[in-house]
Amino acid sequence: MDDDLPPQVSKDLRPARHGPTIRDVARLAEVSIGTASKALNASGRLREETREKVQRVAREIGYRPNDMAQSLHRTRSMTVGIISTDSFGRFTLPIFQALEEQFADQGIAVFMCNATDDPEREQQHLDQLLGKRIDGMVVTARRADKRPPIVGLPPHIPVVYVFSQADDPDALSLLPDDEGGARLATEHLLAQGRRRIAHIAGPERFEAVNLRHRGYLSALAAAGVTPDPAHYLTGSWAESWGRDAVAQLFDGSATPPDGLFCDNDQIGRGTLDALRERGISVPEQVAVVGFDNWEVMAAAARPPLSSIDMNLSALGREAGERLLAMIDGEQDRGVLRLPCTLVVRESSNPQGNSK
């Protein structure tokens, strides 16, 4: 079942599948799900050899399109709805842009609504989207913590939660691999020769904070490094917390950290400011890595901040592919965590070479 997951994807996903799916057809024919759908539904503009290849693969693996889905396909509105609670757009916009590009080739229009954590407003948007006879829905948020599932949708309208997690085992939720990203950051600091690595975290009530701490601890354990309990500090997501954390870690300490893993780039930028004020050189004395790879924050830091990229565009593309497959009748559920990557800049490596 896990063989056709993207490389390095966490295997939390437990899709409900019965026989070959359109995803299997697309993978074996080496085309996108959208192209496979066009070929099997005799729609869209495709090269004849591509259409024949897809149809041949479908026959060979015994793929049978869902009859109900085929009926619905003929009466689609060619619209998809997005409901978000990210009023700033920091996380939603890269996902939204990737989704829009994904659907544009299929001639699908996207309607985006901002619910701002207001259940009544969310329900109003949902009613409006249903009035447009949407074919599917994507739900996003500014945090990946669990939320109540969307209710009131007809059973034939699929929902994908991306950078959002439904408190429903039958839902499909796509998330960045926070634990893997934290492990990647800590391994990088270890590779730079750091052994006294502190984790300056966000609020402990968030799932991402706990997952990132777990990744930090697992990387230290794998390297045979015993963590210092005093080197784990939790606070807010703000630059001011990064400055306060540096004061706690460095002022009067006989064994201050030589590496800092920060739970977001705002915290990381605050630590860089505080270290510079103390005359502590970065990365020579202390190496620093942030999380999110918010370009406007990380690249403009002094020095530029190394950071974990959650690959939000890739997350959006994956959500688009899966929603297209679900619109075509495929059943999919579970939690899928996609890998993060490390962007190396001068805060952890004098050369600042990405790797």
Within a domain: residue 208?
yes
The pLDDT of residue 354: 53
What pLDDT is attached to residue 55? Answer: 87
Q: Is residue 257 part of a domain?
A: yes
CA 135 to CA 15: how far, in whole Å?
20
Q: How many residues does the chain have?
A: 355
In-domain check, residue 298: yes
| CATH code of the domain in which 197 resides | 3.40.50.2300
- pLDDT score of 207: 94
Q: Is the CB of residue 334 less than 8 Å from the CB of residue 14?
A: yes
| Whole-number Å distance between alpha carbons of 353 and 355 | 6
The pLDDT of residue 137 is: 95
> What is this structure's pTM?
0.79
Residue 148, in any domain of the structure? no
Give the pLDDT confidence score for residue 332 in this predicted structure.
92
Please report the pLDDT score of residue 174 as a whole number.
97
- Residue 259: strand pairing partners: 197, 287
Pairs from 8-12 (Cβ < 8 Å, separation ≥ 24): 8/180, 8/339, 9/177, 9/336, 9/337, 9/338, 9/339, 10/177, 10/180, 10/336, 10/337, 10/338, 10/339, 12/334, 12/335, 12/336, 12/337
pLDDT tens series, the chain, 355 aa: 344 444 444 444 444 445 788 888 888 999 887 788 778 776 667 788 888 898 898 888 888 665 445 544 546 788 999 999 887 778 888 999 999 888 887 788 899 888 877 888 888 998 899 888 899 999 998 888 888 999 888 888 999 999 999 999 999 999 999 999 999 999 999 999 999 999 999 999 999 999 999 999 999 999 999 999 999 999 999 999 999 999 999 998 889 999 999 999 999 999 999 999 999 999 999 999 999 999 999 999 999 999 999 999 999 999 999 999 999 888 899 999 999 999 999 999 977 655 4
Residue 237 lies in a domain: yes
Structural domains in the chain (count) = 1
The pLDDT value recorded for residue 4 is 41
Q: Which helix (H) or strand (E) is 28 found in, with range?
A: helix 22-29
Retrieve residue 223's tokens: 């390297």
107 in a domain, yes or no? no
In a domain, 22, yes or no: no
Distance CA 286, CA 283 (A): 5
Is residue 250 within 8 Å of 280, Cβ to Cβ?
yes
Nearest 10 degrees: CA dihedral of 207, 121, 310, 195?
-30
Domain contains 326: no
Q: Which residues form the domain of 276? A: 178-310
